[in-house]
A and B are shown apart, each in its own frame.
Chain A
Amino acid sequence: SSELTQDPAVSVALGQTVRITCQGDILRTYSANWYQQRPGQAPIVVIFGSNNRPSGIPDRFSGSSSGNTASLTITGALAEDEADYFCHSRDSSGDLYVFGDGTTVTVL
């Protein structure tokens, strides 16, 4: 199966740490990428290839992977981190791509 499953929503206190997960059998074969999408804005990549952070992305964002689960961790969450975070990977054909439904992060 190429489905990617995420929890719909999570909340985190300002300055605390939150971990978002993405589960799918395809993640045993292909790495996951993570995107942040704020309301009314285009998605931006925050982690690619499981654990790589693009230039310009704060180091409070980190990624990891184990088995069929990829994780995005925000260490020391800021108010500006409130957004929808969704994962992405290849599908079982290897030529197309699938997305998780996204996790809405609320910073309290």
Chain B
Amino acid sequence: EVQLAQSGAEVKKPGESLKISCQGSGYRFSSNWIAWVRQKSGKGRELMGIIFPADSDIKYSPSFEGQVTISVDKSISTAYLQWSSLNASDTAIYYCARLLMVRGNRWFDPWGPGTPVIVS
């Protein structure tokens, strides 16, 4: 079964650093882009960026460029999202998702369970 497992909930203070993870299993991890998606309480989803594990090619959404760092360790099938200095506005649930590309269609499947991050 194809799965994405994410690290557990985090409670941090403003100014602290954080790195959360997303580990894939059940498929060839290097072959598919992995996306990070933010969802604030009561709000819609926002794409933060995507990374291709095979060569670590990264594309950031303009709103998140310079605010977070996306990385990957393909040897352990794990993608990461990190902050060097959190602030309260980073409070949200963070999802990772695998990007599928078939015959010109692109969609996310599966999604990880989400990592809640509270900064307070």
Most buried by A among B37, B47, B95, B107: B107
Chain A residues with CB below 8 A from B113, complex form: 41-42
Number of interface residues of B (CB under 8 A): 26
Q: Is A24 an interface residue (CB 8 A)?
A: no
Q: Which of B38-46, B68-76, B82-90 sits within the interface?
A: B38-46
**Neighbour of A97 across the interface among B35, B103, B105, B114, CB < 8 A:** B35
Which chain B residue shows the least CB distance to A42?
A: B111
Main secondary structure of the interface of B (DSSP, over half): strand
Which chain B residue shows the least CB distance to A97?
A: B47
**Neighbour of A42 across the interface among B59, B106, B112, CB < 8 A:** B112
In angstroms, Cα B48 to Cα A72, docked, is 25
Interface pair A42/B110, CB less than 8 Å apart: yes
Q: Is A79 an interface residue (CB 8 A)?
A: no
- Nearest first, the 4 closest Cβ-Cβ pairs linking A and B are A49-B105, A101-B44, A48-B107, A33-B107
Pick 7 A–B contacts, CB within 8 A, sort by A.
A48-B100, A48-B107, A49-B102, A49-B103, A49-B107, A88-B107, A97-B106
